[in-house]
Amino acid sequence: MKAHGQLSVFIGVIIEQIIVPVPSPMIVMGAGAILISPDLSIPNAFLQILWVIVLPGTIASTLGSYIGYTISYYGGKALVIRFERFLGVDWDQIEKLEKRFQGKKVAWSLILARAIPAFPLSLVSVFAGLLRIPIRPFTLYTFLGSILRILFLGFVGWWVGATYEKIASHLDSLETIVSVLMLIAMGGVLGYLYYKFRKRG
């Protein structure tokens, strides 16, 4: 990071978007601790964080999110159809859920999911693709949410300096727990929809 600055932030954020086990808070917080001088005043540090960390990090986060989104968008239907016996839900039910998940719900859900550090970014992209959210709103809301997330993590990384690794590891553990809970919740929702539609049928 010291040698390559913004480029290292860009590449690091791209990698953590692709490889789920990479602790996403550690990369941005590490950049805040390493690239931003601890001697700066808060306003000057804020401006440095925006230029050195937030700009490349947000672009990388948005570009990296297309990978999970694209795979899920184009391949999600085939997977759901193939494994619908195990999922307990078919593609028609997913499409009905997709119609409900539109407008402001999409905007706030994507922005918040991207902004909250504990949310797993890869799963957010996969769910967005599965629900076939159009590419333009997906890009816009991903970009806006990523700005908030990276700004917060970069500022915290600069603020705590050398102790960032301990805090980042705690955030990563929390992110893992949230990932598991999201998968359980998604399974519960799909099971409920299956039961509901089957009962109607």
- According to the 3-state scheme, what is the secondary structure of 107-166? HHHHHHHHHCCCCCHHHHHHHHHHCCCCHHHHHHHHHHHHHHHHHHHHHHHHHHHHHHHH
CB 179 within 8 A of CB 117: no
Q: What is the pLDDT along the chain (201 residues), one digit of tens a residue?
A: 888 888 999 998 888 777 656 666 788 988 998 899 888 888 999 999 999 999 999 999 999 999 889 988 887 766 666 656 555 555 566 566 556 656 667 788 888 888 888 777 777 888 788 888 889 999 999 999 999 999 999 998 898 875 665 666 666 666 667 777 777 877 777 777 777 666 665
Nearest residue to 110 via CA among 56, 65, 158:
65
| Structural Rg of the chain based on CA atoms | 19
Domain ranges of the chain: 6-200
Nearest residue to 123 via CA among 16, 6, 196:
16
Given 3-state DSSP classes, what are the helix, strand and coil percentages for the chain, each rounded to the nearest 5? 85, 0, 15
Q: Residue 13 has which token pair?
A: 């954020």
Q: Residue 41 has which token pair?
A: 């005043």
Helix (H, G, I), strand (E, B) or coil at 22: coil
Q: For position 89, what pLDDT does the model report?
A: 56
Q: For position 139, what pLDDT does the model report?
A: 95
